[in-house]
Structure 1
Amino acid sequence: MRLLLVNPNTTASMTSAIAAGAAAAARPTTVVEAANPDRGPASIESDDDEHRCVPYLLDVLRHAGERTKDRPDAYVIACFGDPGLEGARALLDAPVLGIAQAAMHAATLLAGTFSVVTSMSATVPRGWQLAKSYTPHACLGVYACDIPVLRIDADPHTIEPIADLCEHALRTDGSRSIVLGCAAMARFAQPLSRRLGVPIIDGVVAATRLAEALAPLTPR
């Protein structure tokens, strides 16, 4: 199968990291592509950023869906706010997954309860909104490390304050897993899981594996 992940911001380094994370999780027979718009916000850290990115995100998805050759069998919107998800599903005739929805369902199935650790405080209300919509009783808390997305993407040392916040969330909420609320945190999932001893769910990995399972169920 062919999977396209779209990073809704314009930062190519994040797109490359998203592609690498998805490729590492995907089956050997899955062809992983990743793309980002050439217009819109460089990072998505607020409701305004989400609204601004949607038209450009949908353009990328529309063009991919119109291919006559190598058309994707499934799509992933690789931003934790799941911007444009319903619009993309209306536009395309293949599965479209958002990484927040995928991660929250995966955490609920795997551990029963979870806390979300995200980037900026401005994204906390959106995290709660999605959690109450997707998994109403499983999310016990949403926390922001207040480290800008581009710094998380560029600085591997940000894992330390993120780990401290994950530990605080687990202790405060009594939750059994952590959902990482930012695609730039994806590379931290495995080391944090080893360090904290609980499942740390990255939405890129969760969405990749769910897309592989769902694509064969869709008539094409």
Structure 2
Amino acid sequence: MTGPIVVINPNSNQVVTDGLSGALSAFTLQGGPKIECLTLNEGPFGIESQRDSDSVILPLATLVQSRPDAAAFVIACYSDPGLDTCRSVVPQPVFGIQESGVLTAMARADRFGIIALADGSIPRHRRYMARMQVLDRLAGEIALNMSVDDSARGEGTYARLVEAGTTLKAHGAGVVILGCAGMARHRRPLEAELGIPVIDPVQAAVTMALGALLAG
């Protein structure tokens, strides 16, 4: 099998990209595609608003077009910025982590909850889920109200994730989605703490990419 799965962090924070590499370290299969994590250097330090999300669409399209060697792409931002545009300019499959995370969550439980980065992210997420026609499966969404950088390495992040996840579970969520790529390193301990599945949407998207490629 030729060509890597290229996972693109659309913000310019290398710490987030390093966290993606760590979260995906177990996904490299013998004889399977390599997984390459890249930072979009033109992106903002954190994608925390609609303007931030929109600002990376054209740079993302340029980047995917520059990688004809790739077998598939994953856009590792929960807003799925540029997903439609990138799909329109390259023949390879392109996966967004919000779409992949929600689809994976619905395969694990009847209702899902989301831990968002900030209150301002929630309307953006709901518009996307309305397009997917899945809002009736949403148990709730809770924002941590912190920056992307804090979610990746802030000392108090995990405790706030536990609090938010516990509340979502009480509201009927049978599975919780981490609504920011920067939260990846907390997935495993949070799942053990909550006692229900916790979805890292980057892992979900890479799993879908692997499935598409292995199926030929």
Shorter-normalised TM-score: what interval?
Answer: over 0.9
Residues 156, 59 of structure 1: CA spacing in aligned structure 2 closer, same or farther, 3 A cutoff?
farther
Output the amino acid matched with 1:159: Y
Q: Matches of 2:129 and 2:188 in 1, distance apart?
A: 23
Report the equivalent of 2:59.
Answer: 56
Output the amino acid matched with 2:71: D
Contact 2:126 / 2:135 at 8 angstroms: preserved in 1? no
Q: Matches of 2:138 and 2:145 in 1, distance apart?
A: 20
Report the equivalent of 1:9.
Answer: 11
Which of residues 36, 40, 58 in structure 1 aligns to 2:43?
40
TM-score of the aligned structures, taking structure 2 as reference length = 0.93
Q: Matches of 2:62 and 2:173 in 1, distance apart?
A: 38
Q: Matches of 2:185 and 2:213 in 1, distance apart?
A: 25
Deviation, 1:22, is 2.0
Which residues in structure 2 correspond to 1:95-174 (within 5 Å)?
A: 95-134=93-132, 135-171=134-170, 173-174=171-172
Please, which moves more after superposition, 123-132 or 42-51?
123-132
Aligned length: 212
Q: Matches of 2:26 and 2:150 in 1, distance apart?
A: 23
Deviation, 1:57, is 1.7
Contact 1:7 / 1:14 at 8 angstroms: preserved in 2? yes
Q: Matches of 1:206 and 1:78 in 2, distance apart?
A: 11
Q: Matches of 2:98 and 2:213 in 1, distance apart?
A: 19
Stretches of structure 2 that go unaligned for 5 or more consecutive residues are none
Q: Matches of 1:112 and 1:167 in 2, distance apart?
A: 17
Contact 1:118 / 1:124 at 8 angstroms: preserved in 2? yes
Deviation, 1:39, is 1.4
Q: Matches of 2:22 and 2:61 in 1, distance apart?
A: 22
Deviation, 1:92, is 1.2
Deviation, 1:140, is 2.0
Q: Matches of 2:139 and 2:59 in 1, distance apart?
A: 33
Contact 2:111 / 2:137 at 8 angstroms: preserved in 1? yes
Q: Matches of 1:195 and 1:18 in 2, distance apart?
A: 22
Please, which moves more after superposition, 31-40 or 196-205?
31-40
Q: Secondary structure at the match of 2:81?
A: coil
Which residues in structure 2 correspond to 1:187-202 (within 5 Å)?
A: 187-202=185-200
Stretches of structure 1 that go unaligned for 5 or more consecutive residues are 66-70
**Considering only aligned residues, what root-mean-square deviation do their CA atoms show, in Å?**
1.5
Between the two proteins, what is the percent identity of the paired residues?
A: 26
Deviation, 1:156, is 4.5
Output the amino acid matched with 2:52: D
Which of residues 15, 20, 23 in structure 2 aligns to 1:21?
23
Contact 1:26 / 1:208 at 8 angstroms: preserved in 2? no
User: Deviation digits for residues 101-133 of structure 1, max 9, x if unmatched?
Assistant: 111000001112101101111101111122222
Output the amino acid matched with 2:19: A
Output the amino acid matched with 2:66: H
TM-score of the aligned structures, taking structure 1 as reference length = 0.91
Q: Secondary structure at the match of 1:190?
A: helix
Output the amino acid matched with 1:107: A
Higher fraction of helix? 1
